[in-house]
Amino acid sequence: MPLIPGLTGKADVLICGASQGIGLALCTALLAREDVSRVWAVSRHTSTAGALLALARAYGERLLLMDCDARDEVSLTALASEVGLACTHLHLVISTLGILHQEGSKAEKPLAQLDLSGLQASFATNAFAPILLLKHLLPLLRKQPATFAALSARVGSISDNRLGGWYSYRASKAALNQLLHTASIELKRLNPAATVLALHPGTTDTALSRPFQGNVPEGKLFEPAFAAQCVIELLERLGPAESGSFWGWDGERIGW
């Protein structure tokens, strides 16, 4: 099955958030595929990401490491022009950008724990950075076919929210979903073969989830490699007809 619907040749792929966790597992899984030509692996400090450097040694020129802070449009402009020098068309872009309790963001419980700086930090990485990444890479996604997928989270679903808490993470993922849905409408006009997806990878054993794994039911905490495989299966299956929608790792659609 092709990596994205309708793809006939080999894919050029960019993963933003590639130094660890699910992004790193996606790089590993994609490089192992013969239908993937090159992978651009983006994070803020790739030169200190040991696992990425090991992948670069194993895969040589097929893996290109790029430093970029996706919250910074100057950095995104530089990323887009550098990638654009090497290729005219990316077939797949995946944003695995996300924070829950790091870098000023907080996994708040009561309202009393909410503050402006925590909200701003969560929104900057979880909602604003992925959509700005899409804005800057858009010229490389205009030929057919192309998929832009961002890892969202089921807790960003308003209709699914029965537990409360995690105000800024939930709200920033809900905002991300709205931004992606809006972009899917614009992309439909620019390139009818484009697909924009919000994907929930399942609760996965990474730095992001580590402080909160105590309450995860047995068998429901995934290895990053498993989450990456589930994401790839969604990318293989979901095409332009499903653009602008929100899907879980299990292949089920998630309500907004």
Ligand X SMILES: NC(=O)c1ccc[n+]([C@@H]2O[C@H](COP(=O)([O-])OP(=O)(O)OC[C@H]3O[C@@H](n4cnc5c(N)ncnc54)[C@H](OP(=O)(O)O)[C@@H]3O)[C@@H](O)[C@H]2O)c1
Considering only the stretches 12-20, 54-62, 115-123, 141-149, report the one whose residues sit in contact with ligand X under the rule CB under 6 A.
Answer: 12-20
> Could you tell me the smallest distance in angstroms from the CB atom of residue 9 to ligand X?
28
Least distance from ligand X to the Cβ atom of residue 133, Å? 9
Examine residue 105 and tell whether it contacts ligand X (CB under 6 A): no
- 203 makes contact with ligand X (CB under 6 A): yes
Matching residue, tokens 């089921």: 154
Shortest distance, CB of residue 96 to ligand X, whole angstroms?
A: 4
By the rule CB under 6 A, 201 interacts with ligand X: yes
**Residue 101 binds ligand X, judged by CB under 6 A:** no
Q: List the structure tokens of 121.
A: 């930090």
| Dihedral sign for Cα atoms in the order 150, 154, 159, 163 | negative
Question: How far apart are alpha carbons 82 and 27 in whole angstroms?
Answer: 19
Query: Whole-number minimum distance, CB 8 to ligand X, in Å?
Result: 30
Write the binding mask 114 to 143 for ligand X: x where contact by CB under 6 A, - elsewhere.
Answer: -----------x---x--------------
**Beta carbons within 10 angstroms of residue 35's beta carbon:** 14
46 three-state secondary structure: helix
Q: How far is the CB of 205 from ligand X (least distance, A)?
A: 7
Residue 156 Cβ vs ligand X, minimum distance, rounded to whole Å? 9
Q: Which of residues 17-76 bind ligand X (CB under 6 A)?
A: 17-23, 43-45, 68-71
Rounded distance between C-alpha atoms, residue 197 and residue 78, angstroms: 25
Q: Is residue 204 at the binding interface for ligand X, with CB under 6 A as the rule?
A: yes
Q: Which is nearer to ligand X, 124 or 193 (CB)?
A: 124
| Smallest gap from residue 136 Cβ to ligand X (A) | 12
244: contact with ligand X by CB under 6 A: no
The amino acid at residue 3 is L
Residue 253, classed as helix, strand or coil, is: strand
- Between 136 and 145, name the residue whose CB sits nearer to ligand X: 136
CA atoms in the 13 A half-sphere facing the CB of 99: 19
- Which CB, 140 or 198, lies closer to ligand X? 198
Tell me the CA distances in angstroms from 28 to 25, 38, 142, 229, 232, one per residue in order. 5, 12, 26, 10, 12
DSSP string covering 57-105: HHHGGGEEEEE--TT-HHHHHHHHHHHHHH-S--SEEEE----SSSTT-
Q: Encoding tokens for residue 76?
A: 């995104």
Of 96 and 177, nearer to ligand X (C-beta) is: 96
The β-bridge relationship of strands 36-43 and 63-67 is: parallel
**Which range binds ligand X by CB under 6 A, 30-38, 80-88, 91-99, 110-118?**
91-99
Looking only at the bridges linking them, the beta strands covering 245-248 and 146-151 are unpaired
Residues binding ligand X (CB under 6 A): 16-23, 43-45, 68-71, 96-98, 125, 129, 151, 153, 200-201, 203-204, 206-209
